[in-house]
Amino acid sequence: MPGEGGGPLALGPGRQESGASVSDFPLRRPRAAAASLGALSRLLDAELLNGGADQEIGGVAPLASARGGELGFLADRRYLPALKGSEATALLVAEELAEAVASDPRPRLILSDPHAALRGLLEFFFPPVRRMPTIHSTAVVAESARLGTGVHVGPYAVVEEDVEVAEEVTLGAHVVVGAGARIGRGSLLHPHVVVYPGAVLGARVILHSGVAVGVDGFGYTFEDGGHRKVPQVGGCVLEDDVEIGANTTVDRGSIGLTRVGRGTKLDNLVQLGHNVEVGRHSVFAAQVGVAGSTRIGDGVMAGGQVGIGGHLSVGSGARMAGQAGVTGDVASGETVMGMPARPRGEFLRGIAAQGRTPELLRRIRSMERELEALRSDLSRQGSRDEEGSQGEDGSAGGEEKRSERREYPGE
């Protein structure tokens, strides 16, 4: 098993070791008991101002909807107008907004990273629901499958031949795990996830509903007037702590591996083509598409609807803004925008130039009118010169005299 998912496995679907611990289930429920504001300040390592250490707090909510007994969350200056009408008993405030709320009499927790604090509070106030390990009576588990201790298999789930499932794994309703696949310790597969045969999931992987891992890549040759399928015989690996949103698909390699690195997070409706490699701790927003055989480094961020062409390289730390169309390699640390994707500065200069287009068009039209008027004047002047170039008798002598008169205008 990859990473931390390689612990001992109990043989057989129904022969789990005694003393099995419970598995985390995907739902969370509010904690019944409240906590004092002082205890929360210690939990978050936050500064508590305006007293209230003994005040009981039962939850956290946005300022506009917070009720009595709850913390009002304020991390963005745009939400300051909601402060006055908020019913929150106390406030959780970003450090840079401390002065803006100084006149409010309520107790408040001041933190440099309020979003990290919010995560901690949500984990505290909404602990995971836990179920005893069990295999539902409607589930189908092959005799050759190996399940670790603490595994939960939900209704109508299917675990095929030679599958290995490590400890503390939850397989939700209608999950299908194909033959020979491996699921690492503590992983959570929500209902209707499909893991194709031979795919490998590391420890603590989370797959949301509708995810399909290890599906055939889009490979065809055109022969004899038709498209012929190229067998997709490679593998698919999701490393430890990967989380994938609903209805995302990850193709298996054609003859190599498709790999998603440790700690990477993919949003809903993302598509990774065959032989794609994504590094560690990258984040892709919804509807990102990556064509086959592209290599993506560590810590890369892709905004919504980014499209990345095939056989490209995206360096570590690169940023791709929403709807960028990446048609060439992206250097490490570079930010690209637009279609086709260009470096941020170049793109913004282009946008600024586009904003001046109406003005430039007006100036061009004005210049065209002036040029046309100048041409008309020159044409009329030319006609007058031509008429004046002829003497009364039409001889060249007249021109000579006129030339002399032009040369000696004082005569």
What is the per-residue pLDDT across 223-272, written as a single tens digit (0 to 9) for each?
999 999 999 999 999 999 999 999 999 999 999 999 999 999 999 999 99
Phi, psi of 82 (to 5 degrees): -80, -10
Q: How many residues does the chain have?
A: 411
Assess contact for 176 and 156: CB atoms under 8 A.
no
Q: What DSSP element (H or E) covers 151?
A: none
- The torsion angles phi and psi of 394, rounded to 5 degrees, stand at 75, 10
Q: What's the pLDDT at 220? A: 95
Alpha-carbon distances, residue 291 vs 213, 258, 270, 336 (angstroms): 16, 12, 11, 18
Among residues 152, 274, 281, 311, the one annotated as catalytic is 274
Query: For residue 31, what pLDDT is reported?
Result: 64
Residues of the chain with pLDDT under 70: 1-32, 388-411
What is the helix (H) or strand (E) element at residue 120, kind and residue range?
helix 114-125
d(CA 344, CA 380): 52
Q: What is the pLDDT of residue 238?
A: 99
Separation of alpha carbons 262 and 253, rounded Å: 18
Cβ of 313: how many Cβ atoms within 10 Å? 14
pLDDT at 408: 42
- Strand-pairing partners, residue 257, are 235
- Whole-angstrom Cα distance, residue 348 to residue 350? 5
Beginning with the edge strand found earlier in the chain, give each strand of the sheet holding 47-49 in spatial order: 47-49, 108-111, 90-94, 70-74, 59-62
Closest residue by Cα to residue 16 from 168, 196, 163, 225: 168
Q: What is the maximum span of the chain, computed from C-alpha positions, in angstroms?
A: 130
Three-class secondary structure of residue 373 per DSSP: helix
pLDDT for 360 equals: 86
pLDDT at 27: 54
**Is the bond preceding 343 in cis, omega lying within 30 degrees of 0?**
no
Crossing angle of helices 114-125/37-44, nearest 10°? 120
The reply to whether 311 belongs to the active site is no
Confidence (pLDDT) at 394: 53
Strands (E) located in 164-248: 164-165, 170-171, 176-177, 182-183, 188-189, 194-195, 200-201, 206-207, 212-215, 220-223, 226-229, 235-238, 243-244
Q: What is the pTM of this model?
A: 0.79
